[in-house]
Copies of this chain bind each other. A is one copy, B any other.
């Protein structure tokens, strides 16, 4: 069995520095070390939030190596392309760069037809030997697949290690997939539906929220105390979750938050992604201060 462990998987940002926005390895190491320290289950590298679509293959290799060298966490590696041959190439590059440190390759749904999708996933697995995390993210892929078709497509694929369900509305989709499949199903989307995804049967969160401590608090509380405990634990983080998960600017907001938390040196995103709107500076500071105050109180209580 190669299923991903349940819990919180951090989707790692790729920090950039300077006017050329080069990959900032030192910040990357700082960031993933923080993730390891707070106790996430694993990391997802080169995902959408990692701006993998903006990186050359040399840079992708650099990112993978830096992360693998810095932490001992299991690593899911995202593939950006939708075509079979380029996805295989991405998988082979990951395997070549960090070998057995690749826990699974994350592959996007590339067709609403279950036979086409299954053949795609099978071909990628066969050529790379890697377990596959299937990501359903229509806002990025442009492909919409009904949850029941996705469930049918994946039902007979033993190499599937997990599903990342990001086609809203996610709670009913996750309820269907979790009932149908025996692999773990994770929510994403910055955690905006985390509580309801857990209630629907998700195995946790795989996303890039700037305060992953909140995702951990919620998922851990869920295990111990169910809905009410998870709700209570997530409350202090939820205003920031909603603030971050704004269409088009979510990436910029999150990197700015990571920067202000001191986890990365600069908040720059690579164009054509939108940059952080100046009008949101003060609200972001207020959000971060409020979360930090709430966390201090909660830690003081313990």
Contact = CB atoms under 8 A, between A and B. Distances in A.
Quickly give the copy total for this chain: 4
Contacts of A110: 272
A185 interface: no
A217 interface: no
Interface size class of A (residues with CB under 8 A): 35 or more
Interface in A242-266: 242-243, 246-249
Nearest to A283: B199
A28 to B, nearest CB: 16
Given A56-B85, A85-B56, A169 B271 contact: no
Given A119-B271, A195-B239, A238-B238, A249 B83 contact: no
Majority secondary structure of chain A interface residues (helix, strand, loop or mixed)? helix
A126 to B, nearest CB: 11
Contacts of A248: 168-169
B270 A84 contact: yes
Contact of A196 (B85, B193, B238, B242): B242
A81 interface: yes
A150 to B, nearest CB: 14
Nearest to A168: B247
A199 B236 CA distance: 18
Interface stretch (A5-13, A37-45, A151-159, A226-234): A226-234
A192 interface: yes
A271 B116 contact: yes
Contacts of A279: 171-172, 175-176, 200
28 contacts: A51-B83, A53-B82, A54-B83, A54-B85, A55-B86, A56-B85, A56-B86, A57-B86, A58-B89, A83-B270, A111-B271, A117-B272, A119-B271, A120-B271, A143-B272, A168-B248, A169-B248, A171-B246, A171-B280, A172-B249, A172-B280, A193-B242, A195-B242, A195-B243, A199-B286, A228-B286, A228-B290, A235-B235
Interface of A: 51, 53-59, 81-86, 88-89, 110-111, 113, 116-117, 119-120, 142-143, 168-172, 175-176, 192-193, 195-196, 199-200, 227-228, 231, 234-236, 238-239, 242-243, 246-249, 270-272, 277, 279-280, 282-283, 286, 290
Given A57-B89, A175-B280, 6 more contacts: A53-B83, A54-B86, A168-B246, A170-B246, A172-B277, A175-B279
